[in-house]
Amino acid sequence: MNVWEQVYNPMGNIWMSAILAAIPIIFFIVMLTVFKLKGFIAGFFSILVAGTFAVFIYKMPVILVLMSAIYGVLAGIWPVASIVFAAIFLYKITVKTGKFAIIENSISFITADQRLQVLIVAFSFGAFLEGAAGFGAPVAITSAILVGLGFSPIYAASLCLIANIAGGAYGAMGIPVTVPALLTGLDGLVVGRYTALILPIISIVIAFLLIFIIDGLKGIRQTFPAILVSGVSFGLTQAIVLTFLGAQLADIFAAIVSLVALALFLQVWKPKEIFRVNKEKAANMQVKYSFGEVAYAWMPFVFLTICVTLFNLSFFKNLFIPGGPLEKLVLMLPIPGLNNLVIKHAPIVPQDTPFAAVFKLDLLSSTTTAIVITIIVASILFRCSIKQLRDITKETTKELLSPVLTICSVLAFAYICTYSGMSSTLGLAFASTGEVFPLFSPVLGWLGVFLTGSVVNSGSLFAPLQSVTASQIGIAPETMVAVNVMGGTMAKMISPQSIAVAAAAVGLAGKESDLFKVTIKYSLCLLVIIALISWLIF
């Protein structure tokens, strides 16, 4: 098949082309929020709109559009949907075996105040899981835990999506920073240091914001010392690690320090009023369990943490990379009719480059595998019967059918936008703003994450453009690559992929629009803050 060259300015005017390129994205948002369609239905219609624009405006061959969509569906199934399925399955094992009641109790032992429980579970523990695993697992697990603690599903999911901002830039051992740095030939430590100028402060803000959402200014007044301990210990540790060690361990260290600091502080300080969203559940927390019972109940999550951390360490990953001793265990499947048949041009890339489309099936080295191993261990540890496992499988499959369809349709839509060049058109339009580019630079990262659901993918999409544009206007390229990471992080809470994961975790399949409406205002406000700071200091 003949190759096809991307066209970034089909209308001859970059802003006119950008307006057309934005229509499929706007269409998706309108379908989701105004017409309140289910996520997978809105995604399906958006695939049709994006495909139409790709064919008739960008002159992309129909077969390339079709294969881009198929590639997106495959990426939605593995690893995203598989991680969500495994994470929810693990959670259900703890519920069905009665161990989750002990987990709930142990959290309440640290503090009965549910405002502070959110800081423990969604903020600190969520950041720890983000640093170790990423890819949807933190939001899925922490949302389910909050529902178990008595929070309503919409409340739990939205709080965990917002809390995920604190660790989102450094997930899965810092790859949102290291991957774009590698792509642009920059020093990952330097890029991480620039993010340290802003994101640790945002992390502190997130801690306060979570309490404000739960209980307003009264909640902040009553828990101010605890928020300060949690947020400042997290942000300060994050900044120190980013400055001296790099992004790889920023979430892990920050989460551990904030968890320990808050837990110790709450042994000597308590809020005057104990806040509970579900007062009926308070009576169930009066039972006291031994340390052994608590440790036994938490064992799967401890094992999961160890397992996903191990799977993300460099020495383990290097076993499976090309040239590694176990490389043949990773299936690299080129997408026929798409792989290397799309040519990217400057300034999106330094020189004409074939756009690879290779589906990676890493059955033995992925985060999904780590969770599956944990499921096996938990099943043995808690002596799950075959009937229990069969019932959990049926229940989880039924609950996740709609969310998985949403994830796959959204990524199919996103891949069409990426391979057709529509995403790059939007990037070039913002890059044409010249000296005010630092104001718009985070918007690129934000758009990238909205489209792809991943800060890593957003960096892969726009980091080269950010670097080139920064050099052209006379500022350090590391600054704008860092800003791309920061802007992208603010979109994690509204990415359709993240929304689908959170909805699936709390049984809100088909209610994605409700979640989107809660999180969009916070995402936009934080994006504006990042943009203004970027403009002022860079």
52 pLDDT exceeds 90?
A: yes
Any alpha helices (H) in 34-113, and if so which ranges?
39-56, 62-75, 82-96, 99-110
> Residue 258 is inside which H or E element, if any?
helix 250-265
> Residue 529 is inside which H or E element, if any?
helix 512-537
For 297-308, what is each residue's pLDDT tens digit? Answer: 999 988 987 887
Residue-by-residue DSSP string for 217-237: HHHHHHHHHHHHHHHHHHHHH
150 pLDDT exceeds 70?
A: yes
pLDDT of residue 411: 84
Torsions phi, psi of 506, nearest 5? -115, 10
pLDDT of residue 488: 94
More confidently predicted of 184 and 484: 484
Give the integer Cα–Cα distance in Å for 394 and 157.
Answer: 23
Angle at CA 160, nearest 5°, toward 488 and 101? 155
> Residue 452 is inside which H or E element, if any?
helix 437-452
Sign of the CA dihedral with 394 first, then 396, 399, and 405 last: negative
Q: What is the mean pLDDT of residues 6-33?
A: 92
pLDDT of residue 133: 67
Distance of CA 257 to the CA centre of its chain: 22
Amino acid in position 355: F
Torsions phi, psi of 331, nearest 5? -85, 120
User: What SS3 state is found at 35?
Assistant: coil
Distances (CA, A) of 303 to 275, 298, 377: 32, 9, 8
65 pLDDT exceeds 80?
A: yes
Amino acid in position 368: T
283 pLDDT exceeds 60?
A: no
For 342-362, what is each residue's pLDDT tens digit? Answer: 999 888 888 899 999 999 998
Q: What is the mean pLDDT of residues 426-444?
A: 90
Q: Which of 460, 103, 128 is nearest to 285 (CA)?
A: 103
pLDDT of residue 219: 96
Give the integer Cα–Cα distance in Å for 273 and 217.
Answer: 14
Asked if 355 and 301 count as a contact pair (C-beta separation under 8 A), the reply is no
Number of Cβ within a 10 Å radius of residue 371:
28
How sure is the predictor about 166, in pLDDT bands with cuts at 50, 70 and 90? Answer: very high
For 73-112, what is each residue's pLDDT tens digit? Answer: 998 898 778 887 888 899 889 989 999 888 878 888 889 8
For 386-426, what is each residue's pLDDT tens digit? Answer: 999 999 999 989 888 888 888 889 889 888 998 999 988 98
pLDDT of residue 248: 84
Q: What is the mean pLDDT of residues 176-199?
A: 90
491 pLDDT exceeds 90?
A: yes
118 pLDDT exceeds 90?
A: yes
Asked if 211 and 111 count as a contact pair (C-beta separation under 8 A), the reply is no
Give the integer Cα–Cα distance in Å for 116 and 113.
Answer: 6
How sure is the predictor about 281, in pLDDT bands with cuts at 50, 70 and 90? Answer: low
Torsions phi, psi of 12, nearest 5? 80, -5
Asked if 484 and 180 count as a contact pair (C-beta separation under 8 A), the reply is yes
Give the integer Cα–Cα distance in Å for 454 and 511.
Answer: 22
For 494-518, what is each residue's pLDDT tens digit? Answer: 988 889 888 888 888 778 889 999 9
Query: What mean pLDDT, rounded, does the chain reach?
Result: 90
